[in-house]
Amino acid sequence: MPGRNALIAIAVVVLFGLVVLAWQTGVMDGARPEPTSAATPARPARASSGDGQHHAVLLMYHRFGEDRYPATSIRVEQFEAHIAYLQEHGFNVLPLPKIIDHFERGEPLPPRTVGITVDDAYRSAFEVARPLLEAANMPWTLFVTTDQPDRRLGDFMSWDDIRDLDADPLVTIGHHSGAHHHMPDHDSATNRHDTARASARFEAELGHVPDLYAYPFGEYSNAVLEVVQSFDFRAAFGQHSGVAHVDEPRFELPRFAMNENWGRMDRFEERIHTKPLPVRDISPSDSLVVRNNPPQFEFTLDDPAVQPGQVGCFPSGGIEASIERDGRRLTVVPQSAFPPGRARINCTAPYGDGTFRWFGRQFVVREQTRDGHTPRSDPGAGVPESP
């Protein structure tokens, strides 16, 4: 008969063996913990929208090397410098559909993610931009207005060109309407008919309808949003400045416009390193301004790392503005009315590493008349405003 001390020793050994067995089989306090070595890192929690993991800087171009159109064109040497900078500084240029995939699933994007977009299908995009992007193995999205190749205008690509690009694995074809008109100036029935007509042309010429949409001139209103969302698009893009991020409305995604002026390297570098400035509860909810000009622009900061006093807001056209702060609620009051056309308010805050957080909103300003509002004159297809 073993002694008392021997029995205690046996019990301790048995108990230790049970503990080891429980740890190995994962039944003690949940599953067995994963090792956290450099070879097998622990799975990270979902990053916030402002930490560089859930956002992408989207660039928008129109013409390339067409110096007589400086408002919509970028010089070839500027575009070459943009491509070289992206390559040399570790940026990840991804296809636009893949960026939207990540947004839809809430999955992190690679650091320094960039998307390249080109509006209006000018021939210079085919003849100048395509070879440069192909040499750099950079994907890009071309937003096509179907009336332009249908009319066989000399400045624009043909359907043969567009089919060639559609077959290129680096290129995504996007939807940019049929008539390229100012959508907020038309009723919903007209906009719905134009979108459906363009979709039919894409189906006839390409065998499919693009599922990404870019608003002509970047202009939209609540009524326009409702029309576009009634189709099978995954996302839609404006021409207002800012950084696209996972928490932003999927049919109001911003892009930084690039032209000869805004494509200068100092400005390009500033924008390419910009982070999002997440906000919520935006007022007014409609971008169309007919009455109440200038609009009283309000939003609530949605990132606790940003202090209200750090934020500055700047209306377009050199208009001064005051900012009223009530906790994390900011009210931006422009000091004079916006002229008819496109107007913007850009709000920024320092990020801490010499870069900026950025939130922008574009307004479509129309004059009030007895019959509604007066459309402004058209200054030219796709002219980007100053970002």
pLDDT digits (tens, 9 = 90+) for 330-353: 999 999 999 999 999 999 999 888
Q: How far apart are CA 358 and CA 82, in angstroms?
A: 20
DSSP 177-204: -SS---GGGS-HHHHHHHHHHHHHHHHH
User: Can you give the pTM of this predicted structure?
Assistant: 0.83
In this structure, are residues 182 and 363 in contact, taking their beta carbons and an 8 Å threshold? Answer: no
- Phi first, then psi: give them for residue 271, nearest 5 degrees: -75, -35
Q: How far apart are CA 58 and CA 64, in angstroms?
A: 18
Task: Say if 384 falls within a structural domain.
Answer: no
**What's the mean pLDDT when you consider all of the chain?**
85
What is the arithmetic mean of pLDDT over 240-260?
96
Task: Say if 358 falls within a structural domain.
Answer: yes
pLDDT at 150 over 60: yes
pLDDT at 314 over 50: yes
Read off the pLDDT band of 369 (50, 70, 90): low
Rg (C-alpha) for the chain, rounded Å, is 26
pLDDT of residue 22: 33
pLDDT at 260 over 70: yes
Read off the pLDDT band of 154 (50, 70, 90): confident
pLDDT of residue 368: 67
- Phi first, then psi: give them for residue 368, nearest 5 degrees: -80, 130
What is the arithmetic mean of pLDDT over 158-180?
98
Task: Say if 129 falls within a structural domain.
Answer: yes
What is the arithmetic mean of pLDDT over 239-246?
96
Buried b / exposed e along 97-128 (16+ C-beta atoms within 10 A): bebbebbeeeebbeebbbbbbbbbbbbbbbeb
pLDDT of residue 210: 98
- Per the structure, the complete domain to which residue 122 belongs is given by 55-374
Considering 6-20, 73-87, 283-297, 355-369, the range whose residues carry the highest mean pLDDT is: 73-87
Q: CATH code at 245?
A: 3.20.20.370
pLDDT at 238 over 60: yes
Read off the pLDDT band of 124 (50, 70, 90): very high
What is the arithmetic mean of pLDDT over 129-142?
98
pLDDT of residue 219: 97
Read off the pLDDT band of 372 (50, 70, 90): low
Task: Say if 327 falls within a structural domain.
Answer: yes
pLDDT of residue 53: 75
Task: Say if 191 falls within a structural domain.
Answer: yes
Q: How far apart are CA 275 and CA 55, in angstroms?
A: 8
What is the arithmetic mean of pLDDT over 290-302?
94
Number of domains, the chain: 1
Task: Say if 351 falls within a structural domain.
Answer: yes
Task: Work out the percent of the chain whose per-residue pLDDT is above 90.
Answer: 78
